[in-house]
Structure 1
Amino acid sequence: MDPILKTMTLADEKELDVMLDELSKTKKAVSIGFLNQHGYNLIFHKKEIKESFFNLDYLLRDGKGIELACRYNKISPKLNLNGTDFIPHLIDRLLKLENKPTFFAYGTSRPWLEKGAQSLFKGNSFRCLDGFQELDIYKEHYLKNRTNGLDVIVLAMGMPKQEILASMLKSIAVSRTIIICGGAILDFQAGKVRRCPKIFQQLGLEWLYRLINEPKRLFHRYVIGIPIFFKNIFTSKLKNKKKTYE
Structure 2
Amino acid sequence: MFINNSSVKDAIIRTLDLLSDSEVPGFIQEICATKKPVSLGFVNQHAYNLIEKDKQVFEAFAQLTYRLRDGGGIKIACKLNQCDPGANLNGTDLIPKLCDHYLTTHPDAEVFILGTQEPWLSRGASSLLKDKPCELMDGFQEDLAYLDLVQKKGTADKPRLIILAMGMPKQERVAHLLMQQLSGPVLIVCGGAIIDFSAGRVSRAPKLFRSLGLEWLYRLALEPKRLFARYVLGIPLFFYFLVKNRF
Q: Distance in 2 between matches of 1:219 and 1:7?
A: 28
Moved more, 146-155 or 108-117: 146-155
CA RMSD, Structure 1 to Structure 2 (Å): 0.9
1:126 matched to 2:158? The reply is: no
Q: CA deviation at 1:99?
A: 3.7
Alignment correspondent of 1:209: 218
What whole-Å deviation, never above 9, does each CA across 1:80-120 have from its counterpart, x for those lacking one?
00000000010111121154321100000100000000111
| Residues 106, 159 of structure 2: 8 Å contact kept | no
Q: Give the SS at the match of 1:110.
A: coil
Q: Deviations over 1:125-164 (max 9, x none)?
A: 0001001111111111111012121100000010000000
Stretches of structure 1 that go unaligned for 5 or more consecutive residues are: 239-246
Find the partner of 1:191 among 192, 200, 213. 200
The structure 1 segments of at least 4 consecutive aligned residues displaced by more than 3 Å after TM superposition are: none
Is residue 2:84 matched to residue 1:94?
A: no
Question: What is the DSSP-based 3-state SS (H/G/I as helix, E as strand, rest coil) of the residue aligned with 2:50?
Answer: helix
What residue is the counterpart of 1:60 in the other structure? 68
Corresponding residue of 2:24: 16
Identity in percent: 48
Change (3 A) 1:98 1:135: closer
Distance 1:218 1:101 in 2: 36
1:149 is matched by which residue type in structure 2?
Answer: K
Displacement of 1:208 in angstroms is 0.4
Secondary structure at 1:96 match in 2: helix
SS of 1:138 mapped into structure 2: helix
Q: C-alpha offsets along residues 179-228 of structure 1, whole Å, 9 cap, x if unaligned?
A: 00000000000000000100000000000000000101000000000000
Mapped to 2, the partners of 1:49 and 1:7 lie a distance apart of 13
Name the structure 2 match of 1:27: 35
SS at match of 1:168: helix
Of 161-170 and 17-26, deviating more is 17-26
Tell me the equivalent position of 1:83: 91
Relative to the length of structure 1, the TM-score reads 0.95
8 Å CA contact 1:4–1:40 kept in 2: the answer is yes
Contact 2:163 2:188 in 1 (8 A): yes
- Is 1:172 the counterpart of 2:181? The answer is yes
1:244 matched residue in structure 2:
none
**Secondary structure of 1:189's aligned partner:** helix
Change (3 A) 1:224 1:176: same
1:235 to 233, 240, 244: 244
- SS in structure 2 opposite 1:95? helix
**Of the candidates 78, 88, 92, which is equivalent to residue 70 of structure 1?**
78
2:13/2:78 contact within 8 Å kept: yes
Match of 1:243 in 2: none
Aligned length: 238
1:116 and 1:139 map into 2 onto residues whose CA distance is 21
